[in-house]
Structure 1
Amino acid sequence: MQLTSFTDYGLRSLFFLAALPNGELSSIRVVSERFNVPKNHLIKVINKLSQLGYIKAIRGKNGGICLGKAAKDIILGEVIRDLEPLVLIDCSEKSCHITSACRLKKALAIAKEAFLSELDKYSVADMLESNDELIMLLRPD
């Protein structure tokens, strides 16, 4: 299974914001430059994360972005469910003539749920906890 770049950038953005000192804001430009991600694409990612409540976007001269909730409350499995389409295969009768007898769809659904259930055990905070190297790599220069 491969996550889309949309989800990848979303997770990276959450990690970046979680690594900031408490109360500090950043900007989409800074995150974009840090990860060498196109700013226009990152705007869409940040907008979605903001709509979902993972990120708080503050407008104005002194505005910026920060986590919308505590890093310990941002569960990786939930973020992926919210950002990722997670359609592993098209099993519609229009695209596959064996779909009525095939058991692959059920097996893939079970595997997908196992994948997400494992990620439900981890929060954004867990990714940074006791990981000074990652925190140093994430923090702006």
Structure 2
Amino acid sequence: MKVSTKGRYGLRAMLDMALHQNEGPMAVHIVAERQGLSERYLEQLMVPLKKAGLVKSVRGPQGGYVLTKKPRDITVGEIIRALEGPIAPVDCVSEQTPEECERAEFCVTRLIWSKMRDSIAEVLDSLSLEDLIQESRKISVRSR
């Protein structure tokens, strides 16, 4: 299972917004510049994040995007699901709509995929943006 650039870049952008949340609405071009991302691509990532209720847009000259909740209340799992879809190493164990499989009742490998899905979800759901902010600060202190 691989997280695409949507998930990776979207998480970086959300962390950037969390780190700078006291600066007011954040223009996409500023986040993109700080993170070394394409402004156009980042703008596209904001659509599913907004739809998931994780960010909202603020119009006007000082407009941009803001987090809709405190960083401690936004999990990495929410961000990844908003951008990548349900967590599932295979379709038959998808979190939302598992694909029907004629072998489901006697498929031994399905147990592996379910455990894998649950383990990944547990890790992603156990970390919040606030946790990542704390880690970021530790890294900044060590690199000085």
When normalised by structure 1's length, the TM-score is 0.77
Deviations, residues 89-137 of structure 1 (Å, cap 9, x unaligned): 466xxxxxx889653333112211111112211100011126326579x
2:28 corresponds to which residue? 28
Amino acid at match of 2:89: L
Counterparts of 1:71 and 1:53 in 2: how far apart (Å)?
Answer: 13
1:67 corresponds to which residue? 67
Matched, 1:80 2:80: yes
CA RMSD, aligned part only? Answer: 2.7
Cα 1:131–1:48 shift into 2, 3 Å: same
Q: How many residues align?
A: 132
The structure that is helix-richer by fraction is 2
Amino acid at match of 1:61: P
Matched, 1:108 2:113: yes
- Structure 1 unaligned residues grouped into runs of 5+: 92-97, 137-141
Amino acid at match of 1:37: L
Matched, 1:54 2:54: yes
Higher relative contact order (CA 8 A, sep 6+): 1
Question: SS of the residue aligned with 2:57?
Answer: strand
Identity rate of aligned residues, in percent?
27
Cα 1:87–1:118 shift into 2, 3 Å: closer
- Structure 2 unaligned residues grouped into runs of 5+: 93-102
**Deviation larger for 79-88 or 121-130:** 79-88
Amino acid at match of 1:6: K
